[in-house]
Amino acid sequence: MKTGVIGAGIGGLATACLLAAEGCKVTVWEKNDSVGGKMNQFKKDGYRFDTGPSLFTMPFVLEDIFKKCGKSVDDYLEIVSVDPICRYFWNDGVVFDSSVNLPDTLKQIQEFAPQDAESYVKFLGYSADIYQKTAATFLYNPLQKLRDLRKVKKSDFFKIDAFSTVSNKVDRYFESKYLRQFFKRFTTYNGSSPFIAPATLNVIPYVELCLGGFYVKGGLYKIAEALHKLAEEMDVAFEFNTEIKRILSDNGKVTGVLLKNDSTVEVDALFSNADATFTYTKLCGTDVIKPRAKQQFKDIEPSCSGFVLMLGVNTTFDNLVHHNIFFSDDYENEFRQLFIKKQTATDPTIYIANTSYDEAGHAPKGCSNLFILVNTPYLSDEVEWTDEFTNAYGEKIIKMLEEKGLENLSKHIDVKEYITPKDFYDLYYSNRGSIYGTSSNLPLSAFLRPRNKSPYLSNMYLTGGSTHPGGGIPLVMLSALHAVQLFSRDKNQA
Ligand SMILES: Cc1cc2nc3c(=O)[nH]c(=O)nc-3n(C[C@H](O)[C@H](O)[C@H](O)COP(=O)(O)OP(=O)(O)OC[C@H]3O[C@@H](n4cnc5c(N)ncnc54)[C@H](O)[C@@H]3O)c2cc1C
């Protein structure tokens, strides 16, 4: 069977491998000149940066993909746990290293929030409980047909805290401002606001703090390279610098694709790893999706975007570990600016991945590669990412970091590169520059993401962070597993 995959992001790569394992002939078309999509890398003057993901969770999902292809992930990647997972800094000098090591964690909490030590353990129990109730029914379930929905235990559906917000629930557990802010931060992992998003997202702390945070030796881009290698070993064909302009269909079925150079390719089944909103609004014609339905896709709220500043600096900072977070003073105001006013935060929380802490080869000797990320609103008329605005925001972040303890940072910069929300759109066509697909700000929005099989075209499937079950590496891998599972179901029924 001749199958095509639009996009070589990690969702497209995993899909291509799984299809090849099913015995299909697979071609992947990618508009850029390399694999990985938002999982990418940048190298300059001896500095090396991952430009997308830096923290890897639930590695067992990736392991499963390799196993389904008859291979072991260990032959392709060296996956190591990160401890501490992340170092958190508050402006009053409090520092907290998060870890899966509970005794160490509680010892630290005794120092800065003794009243909350017991609640920390209770909260992880509550988070684990949401995982138990949502994993089989939501994450590992394509949720496509009635028979998939039957797996959802109705009693559990009302116990997953969809009608409270992350923030309200966290505040009920903790008294200290430190642990309140710490636990609210996890909601940003899928680009949502803890002050709006349903408390169901309190599942994320369990995934990271109990199942662990991981890194791949050499950098996370190795994951994309490993999937690419696996796909090539399975005879998947890749066509780079090849943009798909239109999905061709007849009578409710995809017949092929129209390339940007106006040539056409016929397929028996099509998988889109391009953003779901982009796929439905830009790649499908109005004969397939009526203008009103297209507008509904446009109206889906994207996740937040991000502003990335990559600094190669000719010094090291003793206070930094691999992953670092410098918290803002007023978290609620920060998210109000991002999600309600759609403005950049005046006092943003700043994340820094400093992989040179663990990888000598990522920066010249005695130097550091700082990948700095702050959340920003998705693209709207409120912010125009002109060069002038970008530079000014970058300089502001550098100054803030100097005030927060990275002394004389500005004097040590060898390499400086930016990635803006506009770049995320231009490079990957992600809806309004979002970095995690759609937001999960509404009570049940996590359950209402575009499905992995199209309701419009009977042989079209969708994979990637904008589809079910969501953004982030493990969920994108799951979307590929779902898409190919749904395709196999259809194939077996034919
Ligand atoms: C700055 C940043 C930090 C992140 N941090 C983390 C993290 O720490 N941990 C984590 O788990 N996740 C993180 N994420 C999220 C994670 O990177 C994404 O969820 C994931 O990489 C998305 O993969 P994807 O396959 O869905 O889509 P994409 O990476 O967007 O891939 C889609 C591909 O399709 C191509 N394409 C689009 N349209 C066309 C077309 N018409 N023709 C041909 N090709 C097309 C694009 O060029 C792209 O290569 C981060 C993301 C960013 C940007």
Q: Which two tokens stand for residue 225?
A: 């390279």
**Contact call for residues 402 and 311 (beta carbons, < 8 A):** no
Atom of ligand 1 nearest to the CA of 437: 19
Residue 161 lies in a domain: yes
Query: β-strand 460-462 against 269-272: which pairing, if any?
Result: parallel
Say how far residue 483 (Cα) sits from the centre of its chain: 18
Length of the chain: 494
Predicted local distance difference test score (pLDDT) of residue 438: 86
Residue 10 lies in a domain: no
Ligand 1 pocket mutation, candidates 13, 18, 38, criterion most atoms within 8 A of CB = 38
Give the model's confidence band at 282: pLDDT under 50 very low, under 70 low, under 90 confident, else very high. Answer: very high
Predicted local distance difference test score (pLDDT) of residue 143: 81
Write out the residue range of the structural domain in which residue 322 sits: 305-377+386-419
Q: From the CA of 39, how far away is ligand 1's center (Å)?
A: 6
Nearest CA to ligand 1 atom 52: 52
How far, in Å, CA of 445 to CA of 447, rounded? Answer: 5
Confirm or reject: Cβ of 438 under 6 Å from ligand 1. no
Confirm or reject: Cβ of 52 under 6 Å from ligand 1. yes
Confirm or reject: Cβ of 276 under 6 Å from ligand 1. no
Q: How buried is residue 393: exposed, middle or buried, by Cβ count under 10 Å (0-12/13-18/19+)?
A: buried
Confirm or reject: Cβ of 421 under 6 Å from ligand 1. no
Residue 322 lies in a domain: yes
Asked whether the predicted pLDDT for residue 210 surpasses 70, the reply is yes
Q: From the CA of 9, how far away is ligand 1's center (Å)?
A: 5
Residue 371 lies in a domain: yes
> What's the DSSP call for residue 339?
I
Nearest CA to ligand 1 atom 31: 9
Predicted local distance difference test score (pLDDT) of residue 145: 72
C-alpha to C-alpha distances, 409 to 48, 397, 404, 420, nearest whole angstrom = 18, 11, 11, 21
**Alpha-carbon dihedral of residues 430, 198, 123, 175, nearest 10 degrees?**
110
Taking the model in full, what pTM does it have?
Answer: 0.97
Task: Report the half-sphere exposure of 389 (CA within 13 A, side-chain side).
Answer: 12
**Alpha-carbon dihedral of residues 453, 3, 37, 336, nearest 10 degrees?**
-10
Give the model's confidence band at 325: pLDDT under 50 very low, under 70 low, under 90 confident, else very high. Answer: very high
Domain end call among 170, 185, 212: 212
Nearest CA to ligand 1 atom 45: 7
Q: Which residue has the tokens 């500095």?
A: 47
Residue 343 lies in a domain: yes
**Alpha-carbon dihedral of residues 455, 456, 458, 459, nearest 10 degrees?**
-100
Ligand 1 pocket mutation, candidates 6, 13, 39, criterion most atoms within 8 A of CB = 39
Residue 86 lies in a domain: no
Confirm or reject: Cβ of 243 under 6 Å from ligand 1. yes
Q: From the CA of 380, how far away is ligand 1's center (Å)?
A: 20
Q: Can you point out the beta strands (E) in 73-171?
A: 79-81, 86-89, 95-98
Higher pLDDT, 452 or 146: 452
Confirm or reject: Cβ of 32 under 6 Å from ligand 1. yes
Domain end call among 419, 443, 478: 419
Give the model's confidence band at 175: pLDDT under 50 very low, under 70 low, under 90 confident, else very high. Answer: very high
Average model confidence (pLDDT) across the chain: 95
Residue 172 lies in a domain: yes
**Contact call for residues 217 and 456 (beta carbons, < 8 A):** no
The mean pLDDT value for 436-448 works out to: 79
Q: What is the CATH number of the domain that holds 202?
A: 1.10.405
Asked whether the predicted pLDDT for residue 314 surpasses 70, the reply is yes
Residue 316 lies in a domain: yes
Atom of ligand 1 nearest to the CA of 12: 25
**pLDDT tens readout for residues 368-384:** 999 999 999 999 999 99
**pLDDT tens readout for residues 46-94:** 999 999 999 999 999 999 999 999 999 999 999 999 999 999 999 999 9
- Structural domains of the chain, count: 2
- The region, left, alpha or beta by phi > 0 then psi within -120 to 50, assigned to residue 207 is alpha
**pLDDT tens readout for residues 7-23:** 999 999 999 999 999 99
Confirm or reject: Cβ of 323 under 6 Å from ligand 1. no
Q: From the CA of 49, how far away is ligand 1's center (Å)?
A: 16
Q: From the CA of 243, how far away is ligand 1's center (Å)?
A: 16
Asked whether the predicted pLDDT for residue 254 surpasses 70, the reply is yes
Closest CA to 120 of 195, 239, 206: 206
Q: From the CA of 52, how far away is ligand 1's center (Å)?
A: 8
**Contact call for residues 472 and 189 (beta carbons, < 8 A):** yes
Domain end call among 163, 197, 212: 212
DSSP, collapsed to helix, strand or coil, labels residue 324 as strand
Ligand 1 pocket mutation, candidates 273, 370, 374, 477, criterion most atoms within 8 A of CB = 273
